[in-house]
Amino acid sequence: MEEEMNQKNIIVKVEKERVEFKKLILENPNYFDTFPDIKIEPVFPMSVNTKYEELRCIGFYPDQDLLEAIISVKLPYGYKGNLCSQGSYEYVRFFIDWNGDGDFSDPSEDVGIVSVNVHDIPDGEKVCLENTKPISYAVTLKIDSRKLKCTIPNMVKVRAILSWDMQPQAGNPGFTPVWGNVVEKFIQIKPVLKWRDISKVSDLKLFGVDPSILDLDIPVSKLKELNPAELKEIYKDKHIPEHRFNFAELKTIADKVKLDPNLMVKYKLDPKFSEIVENIGPILAEKPSTRYEQLHCVGLNYDTDTLEATLTVKQPYGYNGSLCTKGSYEYVGFWAYIWDQIEQMCHWKYLGLSSVNVHDIKNIPPEGLQYAVFLPVDLSGLKDKCSKPKIIKIRAILSWQTPPAPNDPNHSPVWGNKVDALIQIKPGISIGPGEQISFISVVGGMAVNKISGNSETTIPSSIGDGYANGVNALESPFGGVVSICGHISNPPNDPVDADKLKYKVQYKKSGDTWQDITNKFRIYISTWNGINWSQSPKDQVAVGGYYKYEEDLTPPVQRFVDASDYSGGSVLSDWHTPVPEGDGLYEVRVLLFKPGAPPAPDVPADHISSNVVKVMIDNTRPQAEISLDAGPCTKYKVGDTITGKFTATDVHIWQYSLAVEPSVPVPPAISPAGETYPALPVPGRTDEVFELVTASDTTPCGYVIHLYVWDRTIVNNYMQGNQKGATVGFCLLKQE
């Protein structure tokens, strides 16, 4: 009763334009005057309202082509329900101006859309908090970037459009959100450094390389690391201070002086050391400078438990070399301010470190370049049920070239700054200290809460279990290689190979028995040892059905399993479908080998099961047929109307298109040109009539009509659909 009263009070505070937003748009698409082309009189002109949410920052992680955005959710109400409900979604669509013409409307400049689930979260008990708003959420999109050689900096402008409860229109960079805002920033695309960066076989052959024998992870060329003398020469007319380009050496001296102040006396008395005294002075002053870089936003990727931060690189020089050198690193350390049950007090817990490689780029835009870092974190010990929202404070400290000290959450970097932010931890099973549980968070590139029929599902399906719903999917099954991603809580800290956790991944069709997934797959392990970063590929090979768990999120030595293309998380296994059992509804799970584990139904002894996720599999290609009423290769004359039939069907139909080739000045006009689900009914069109109208000025030519049909399957973790095509040709002659 009390909860109902509180909900009613919340509703009273929210304006009609928010509560009935979709209803108002359906009644009058131009209700808010955001679609003036419709020529319907607006009722309540309003746009770009950031009262409830605001897109604050954009960043880019060049090593993995990850676009990131940080959203602030500002109020405790106005998001269509509490954490135990479906809530609502914040959508961000990204556009990239690849050719620099400023319009974002060329083909492929709409690079995709992502979303985050948000809810009404009341301002409740403030444990280790001064405030409970705003809450910072992060969204991430992997893009297919266009890489150039390192001598040509590739800086492009990104436009990000935030829109609450309504997806920004695909291909429309001018979309005006009612609730939300638009941000534009410049990013830098990483140049070609490894053969993997040259993804097309044809491109590799241009380099005289046989793709079949090439290790794609070896570098194209070796990057040079510039020494202080070389940097001094490069920067002599760039006004870069020595305590910037020779920072590592001078900081070592400054640290010695801090330990033994008598050294400073010695340096000051000896004229030979006057330059050292001058250069280490700013380092000893501990006054952070943001002249060259500045950290702006911190947020949590809600679905993958990944902390993300964005920063601006401001100057053209001062980063220890061009893109053809090793450059330098921006380090970001993360801490969480949480309650210590034993000490009965709040304390800062170090979560780990991340970094991004930066360089001198001569023609940097005046507003700088936006970079991002990310850090997978184990928040399993802080999760709670949906009726108990969990908000914690995160601190991020940016420090150029030297990592912030892990035992000092108040560290003052010489170059950099610190930012505090609030994050909301996704509800889940609370895990005790040291308890080891496996859990699946992402399947086939889709967060489990966006797959129907599972305990975590927030977007149900009208057609059954196992279907994905989200910004990049609509009642979609899965096919091809399906990556199963997740984590195991509290893995051993820096274990030797023999002590690593063992797990197996299994699938079964309804009513069948569990089968092991034993495919070999490649992961990329990034390791931070407290001094240096390194990355290496590793092939995960199942031994006796078990893989070894490679992730270790506990400092000081941390190992992160980087996501494969479009997988969306830390990969536990790649499930290669189709399987012998064929298409249909399956379940997948992860079994952690744990001797002495308590018995559980349908779980083998000495094992702990993850959440079981239902997944619909469809690898069957659509049906595509096309014919002319007069038969194939028929000759027509300009002015004739050409008719025919086509079939475009599939159990999970997505779209079809009809197109005429070749491209000529005046081709015949074909109708229909295509349809897309859900306007296209299931299972599609059978023996549907099409028509080509030729006019007196239609170009005489030999033509081919192409029919393309796609289903809605997420193939290889990406919404591309299974495809099939069909063609028919005819000849169009001049009138005699």
Query: Quick check: is 115 in a domain?
Result: yes
Q: pLDDT, tens digit, for every residue of 295-348? A: 999 999 988 889 999 999 999 999 999 999 999 999 999 999 998 877 789 999
- Final residue before a domain boundary, out of 270, 285, 300: 285
Q: What is the DSSP string of 27-65?
A: H-TTTTSS-GGG----SS----B-SSEEEEEEEEEGGGT
**473 and 613 share one domain:** yes
Domain-embedded: residue 696 = yes
Give the type of residue at 394. Answer: I
Number of domain units in the chain: 4
Say yes or no to pLDDT of 4 above 70: no
Q: Does a structural domain hold residue 43?
A: no
Classify residue 221: in a domain, yes or no.
Answer: no
Whether 269 and 385 map to the same domain: the answer is no
Query: Which pairs count as long-range contacts for 494-500, CB under 8 Å and 24+ apart, including other chains?
Result: 494/552, 494/554, 494/557, 495/552, 497/548, 500/548, 500/549, 500/550
Question: Same domain for 550 and 476?
Answer: yes
Which range (123-137, 204-218, 425-439, 647-661) has the least confidence?
A: 204-218
Query: How far is 685 from 653, CA to CA, in rounded Å?
Result: 9
Please tell me whether residues 520 and 545 are part of one structural domain: yes
The answer to whether residue 296 sits within a structural domain is: yes
Q: What is the CATH number for 650?
A: 2.60.40.10
Determine how many CB atoms are found less than 10 A away from the CB of residue 514: 16
**Section 3-31 average pLDDT:** 78
For the chain, what is the radius of gyration of the CA atoms?
29
483 and 571 housed in the same domain: yes
What is the domain extent for residue 705?
A: 623-733
Range scoring the smallest mean pLDDT among 169-183, 397-411, 557-571, 591-605: 557-571
200, pLDDT greater than 80 = no
CA distance 231 to 244: 10
E strand or H helix at 722: none
- If asked whether residues 421 and 309 sit together in one domain, one would say yes
Q: Assess if residue 20 is contained within a domain.
A: no
What is the mean predicted confidence (pLDDT) over 491-498?
A: 90
Domain C-terminal end among 617, 644, 676: 617
Q: Inform me whether the pLDDT recorded for 531 exceeds 80.
A: no
Confidence of residue 208 (pLDDT cuts 50, 70, 90): low
| Token output for 72 | 């602030």
Q: Does the structure show a pLDDT above 60 at 10?
A: no
Q: Where would I find the beta strands (DSSP E) of 577-683?
A: 584-593, 607-609, 613-617, 623-628, 634-637, 641-649, 653-661, 669-671, 674-676
Same domain (yes/no): 556, 613: yes
Q: What's the pTM value of the predicted model, to 2 decimals? A: 0.82
Report which of 509, 459, 460 is spatially closest to residue 616, judged by C-alpha positions.
509
pLDDT (0 to 100) of residue 621: 97
Q: Which of 571, 587, 617 is the last residue of a domain?
A: 617
* Torsion sign across C-alpha atoms 642, 648, 653, 658: negative
**469 and 394 co-located in one domain:** no
pLDDT over 70 percentage in the chain:
92
In a domain, 218, yes or no: no
Query: Do 404 and 537 share a domain, yes or no?
Result: no
Q: Are residues 156 and 68 in the same domain?
A: yes
* pLDDT 10s digits, 84-137: 998 999 999 999 999 999 999 998 999 999 999 999 999 977 889 999 999 999
- 631 and 581 inside one domain: no
pLDDT of residue 2 exceeding 50: no
Same domain, 608 and 667: no
The 3-state DSSP class for residue 318 equals coil
Region 277-293 average pLDDT: 85
Q: Does residue 177 lie in a domain region?
A: no
pLDDT at 136: 98
Q: Which amino acid is at 164?
A: W
